[in-house]
A and B are shown apart, each in its own frame.
Chain A
């Protein structure tokens, strides 16, 4: 299975400011609960997914179960690209 997590982690670390003393985001961490990404940030993430992997994120796919952790993103991109 193709691994998207490293590239996604890099995007998140490059684009969303993390406090210097905060631990890195783990694969299962909720971005919302960790307050790494807010709703505006998710729109940015959606644009990144669409531009980087050529997928179309439909309105009903903008849900935490698809986007709100590296694990969820990995599963979502795997499903989208194999569809």
Chain B
């Protein structure tokens, strides 16, 4: 059964379980590759694609799909590390690029981020909460509240050089400044991607999976900006299935999703989602198909109240991040150039 073109809020009677996300990976690869050729050549009129390769499963699958669709010679990979990203991420991105046989280059964006104030502005805000925070400390942001029926808020977690962890809820001003400063990372990466897209007359691939796209887990005009997004309709579980089908290296197929944005290791569920990705996939699918919270609870081993809170959190994130999806608004449509 293929569930990539789910319709929203369609009640289902089948028993809920991981099987609802089963995918005919071979057929889906063919479908996406055909679509990609059509869109890149026919709609966008570009000669190839740029892809930033983080070493994670999403960008690796997108790169492998692009190679299948267009050929390795029409795919240009970028490794875009910075001071806080893990060395292993760049290493894995390089492994995938070489595995796929694409041209690629590494561009360390740390000096650009330093010059624009990314680290300084972020650290100023952290020091309002933790005055002793210094360059040799590590940090991350974690979400709290929503999954337990509360209102989402964010905590800053810092680690001193001797390994001592401290955490505190972020006041609104400091939270917004930390996010705004950190978003430089995604926006500078996108600037570099479009430099190469412009010089090669290529299109830029965006790599969100369905969970990220639906729940607004991206930076507007940062990683949210792209000319085509080949896996935005696929649940993360399905992206892993595609990775295995495409024969990507084991370390990609088994990679645990992280944000790779803060210096402390940070899981995506810790930063943003209410549950680990495989459970979150099932919760999103169930919510889209109007599955009662009691059935989701049984499938995931949660209390019914917890399942209801997860549904509420999904809706809350859709409301909060609606703005991220919105195109610039016009007073009147300009029909001569609109879609």
Binding site for B on A (CB under 8 A): 32, 35, 38-40, 42-44, 46-47, 59-60, 62-64, 67-68
> DSSP class of A's interface residues: helix, strand, loop or mixed?
helix
Q: Which residues of B contact A46 (CB under 8 A)?
A: 153, 172
Chain A contacts for B169, CB-based, 8 A: 59
Closest-CB distance, B197 to chain A (whole angstroms) = 32
Partner among B149, B150, B153, B319 whose Cβ is within 8 Å of the Cβ of A43: B153
Task: Give B contacts to A, CB under 8 Å.
Answer: 144-146, 149-153, 169-173, 175-176, 316, 319-320
Question: Does B316 contact A32, Cβ atoms closer than 8 Å?
Answer: yes
Distance, CA A67 to CA B151, complexed state (A): 9
17 more A-B residue pairs beyond the given contacts A32-B319, A40-B176, with a C-beta to C-beta distance below 8 A? A32-B316, A39-B151, A39-B152, A39-B153, A42-B151, A43-B153, A43-B172, A46-B153, A46-B172, A47-B172, A59-B153, A60-B150, A62-B150, A62-B151, A62-B153, A63-B145, A64-B151
Which residues of A are found within 8 Å of B320, using beta-carbon distances? 38-40
Residues of B within 8 A of A67 (CB): 151
B175 near A38 (CB under 8 angstroms)?
no
| CB-based contact A44/B144 at 8 Å | no
B149 A63 Cβ-Cβ under 8 A: yes
A43/B175 in contact, CB under 8 A: yes
Offer 18 A-B interface pairs, CB within 8 angstroms, sorted by A. A32-B319, A35-B319, A38-B319, A38-B320, A40-B320, A43-B171, A43-B172, A43-B175, A44-B172, A46-B153, A47-B171, A59-B153, A59-B169, A60-B150, A62-B150, A62-B151, A63-B150, A64-B149
**Nearest chain A CB to B133 CB, angstrom units:** 20
CA distance in complex: A44, B171 (Å): 8
A63→B171 contact, CB < 8 A:
no
A43 contact set on B, CB distance < 8 A? 153, 170-172, 175
Q: Is the CB of B172 within 8 A of A59?
A: no
Would you call A62 and B175 a contact (CB within 8 A)? no
Q: How far is the CA of A44 from the CA of B146 in the complex (A)?
A: 17
User: Could you tell me if A40 and B172 are in contact, using CB atoms closer than 8 angstroms?
Assistant: yes
